[in-house]
Chains A and B, each alone.
With several copies, the nearest count.
Chain A
Amino acid sequence: MKINVLAFGIAKDIFGGAATDVELAEKATVTELRTSLEAQYPRLKQLASYMVAVNNEYATADAVLQQRDEVAIIPPVSGG
Chain B
Amino acid sequence: MQPDLLRYSCQMALPGFDEGTQDLLQNARVLIVGTGGLGCPAAQYLAAAGVGTLGIADFDTVSVGNLHRQVLFTPEEIGQMKALVACEKLQRQNPGIKLVPHVLKVTSANVMELLQEYDLVLDGTDNFDAKYLLNDACVLAGKPLVYGAIYQFEGQVAVWNVKQQGSFSPNYRDVYPEVDASQVPNCTEGGVIPTLAGMIGCMQANEVIKYITKTGDVLAGKMLLVDAQTMLSRIIKIGAVTKTSITSLSQTEEVPTVSPEELQQGLEAELYELVDVRSLAEREAFDIGGEHIPLAELDEEFHLTTEKPVVFYCASGKRSAEAVKRLQKRYPNRQMISLDGGLKAWLEQL
Contacts and interface: CB of A to CB of B under 8 A. Distances in A.
Co-complex (A, B):
yes
B149 A79 contact: yes
B236 A78 contact: no
Contacts of B150: 77, 79-80
Interface string A32-52: 000000000001001111110
B149 A48 contact: no
Contact of B239 (A48, A58, A74): A58
Contacts of B190: 10, 79
Contacts, number: 98
B186 A78 contact: yes
A49 B151 contact: no
Given A10-B184, A56-B234, A79-B37, A48 B179 contact: yes
Given A77-B156, A80-B126, A47 B179 contact: yes
B183 interface: yes
Given A77-B154, A78-B181, A79-B186, A58 B237 contact: yes
B9 to A, nearest CB: 14
17 contacts: A8-B154, A10-B190, A47-B184, A48-B180, A48-B183, A49-B176, A49-B178, A56-B237, A58-B236, A77-B156, A78-B131, A78-B186, A79-B150, A79-B190, A80-B36, A80-B126, A80-B197
A8 B225 CA distance: 9
Given A43-B183, A77-B150, A80-B124, 14 more contacts: A10-B185, A47-B180, A47-B183, A48-B179, A49-B176, A51-B223, A53-B236, A58-B239, A77-B154, A77-B156, A77-B184, A78-B131, A79-B187, A80-B123
Contacts of B234: 56
B317 interface: no
A17 interface: no
A46 B123 CA distance: 25
Chain B: interface size category: 35 or more
Nearest to B128: A78
A74 B151 CA distance: 12
Interface of A, secondary structure class, is loop
Contacts of A9: 151-152, 154, 184
Chain A: interface size category: 20 to 34
Q: Nearest 9 pairs between A and B by C-beta?
A: A80-B126, A79-B187, A77-B149, A48-B180, A77-B151, A79-B150, A76-B176, A57-B237, A80-B36
Best-buried of A53, A58, A78 by chain B (most CB within 10 Å): A78
Contacts of B183: 10, 43, 46-48
B289 interface: no
